[in-house]
Structure 1
Amino acid sequence: MSRTVTVGLDGSPESRAAAEWAAREAELRGLPLRLVHVWEPVPEPVAESVQLAPARQKHWSERIPGEAAARIRSRHPGVEVIVEPVPGRPMDVLPEVAKGTDLLVLGSRGLGGLRGFLVGSVGTSVIARTEMPVVLVRSVDRTGAGDAEESAGAAPAVAAYPPVVVGVDTERPDDTVITFAFEEAARRGAVLKAVHGWTLPAYYAYALPADPGLGTELSEQEAAALATVLRPWREKYPDVEVVEESRSGSAARHLVDAARDASLVVVGRRIRRSPFGARTGPVTHAVLHHAVAPVAVVAHD
């Protein structure tokens, strides 16, 4: 199958915002956009009771992606749009669909305030079962006015894209996650902000009052570790401006804070091939539910 950017579409405002973001991403990558509308066939007895004939089910399964495709073609005439209605359950179909694409894009509904965003059981399951990168796009208007489709991670018409943010674990850095972040920053001509959160070992707490310089020393060590991890990518992507942020405290909190001014946040997810449970890890889970920018989850071994 040829390379594509794929979006899961169900006709909701959330999925329409995801489709708009995915269209811009396809444009950046020079790839076709694949609109996959997953629809669950209504059992025949139920369909008969509500007078929902198979032909009518088929009509709606084609109308939703068809209307979305027409809207995207009018706004992004240079992007090839492929429409693909697929029967089945989204949490089963989308992981399979993702195997044949470069990137899978899904929508997420904003809950507002401290409650953050609703990823939902489908999104959580798809992310945890998909080994290709998955981007979750918010459907809220970050500016407080206008169409959510226009504001979901959109870049200004003239100014450069806002920064791309990536979470870096200096103890277990993963090449796949870091490479993805550098590639996204390079495509956008954006600054890459590498965020590293570290926790002060418990036993150091007793030594700090006696040696105030110890905290500074630890901060310098962590910053140096981050610089060491990123050095090969700085050399590989010399045109990408990199800002390194190494701070004590929760990595998730620092990433959520950095997301307020970001065009994309990149986090990792360790692949778990156990058939039981679906986990994304505590940092990725927190970022998915609270970061206001689109979040890319990159699976790695």
Structure 2
Amino acid sequence: MNRAELADFLRRGRARLEPADVGLAPGARRRTPGLRREEVAALAGMSVDYYTRLEQRRGPRPSRQMLTALARALRLTDDERDHLFHLVGEEPPRRDAATAHVRPGLLLVLDRLYDSPAQVVTDCGAVLAQNALAKALVGDASARPVRERNLTRRFFLDPTARALFPPEDLPGHARDHVANLRAVAASRPDDPEPATLVAELRAGSEEFARLWTEHEVSRRRPAVKRFLHPVVGLLELDCEVLLSHGGRNQLVLHTARPGTESHDRLQLLRVVGTQDMRPGTTPLGGTRGTAP
């Protein structure tokens, strides 16, 4: 691990970004250009002390997961992401493999979608990035452990995830999750990620196992979805799916039609954010400060 080169690369990457580049408000006047250390740490989901030690050449060797988070926080290109991995002595992820790296341009689009919930997910359902309104609508995925950020896994193994939808819509969501994963697994027979997820869900969910035997196949596609938010109520939103990185990373965008009650409620959600009228709770029924 080249600590000196890593520290320099992180400092320069931080200095070239402005708050607006990562969806943050400018705030008070800054003495030096670029993001503050605490801002990068928050974007990467690590402690300020940990990040500071990396910039001071005395930090521990970051894990691959942490390197991916840093690459996303600093809006690194694929080449810059690979360089970051090399500085730590890690082999970068293959360019043609499913990746947790989100391209800077896609993150910029995500930040600009301030009035519509949007998130970047892999074709297997892992949430990679969310804008503020998506976090307000469905909860902050970054607050959960990495394994629990997968939408399909949570739908079948975490009962709290289903509280987000009207009960009568749940069977359709279940079929959609299974049919999408069936298509992904068939398209990547040598990739252990979808196969491992399928095996886990077949063992852990009778519903998933039953639906899997029906062999329905359908990729994630545009649809109308309904959400039950504990503060603003029922939202009926148009869901659009935009492909990126060979189709393996997808920008999932939810919009409300102007003039509808759902549009008014979505605007209200922008104001109230994740606040719940019940003290100490989040939209998915968790406790503040913990993963919902």
TM-score norm. by structure 1 comes to: 0.30
Query: Highest Rg: 1 or 2?
Result: 1
More strand as a share of residues: 1
TM-score norm. by structure 2 comes to: 0.31
Between the two structures, name the one with larger relative contact order (CA 8 Å, sep ≥ 6).
Answer: 1
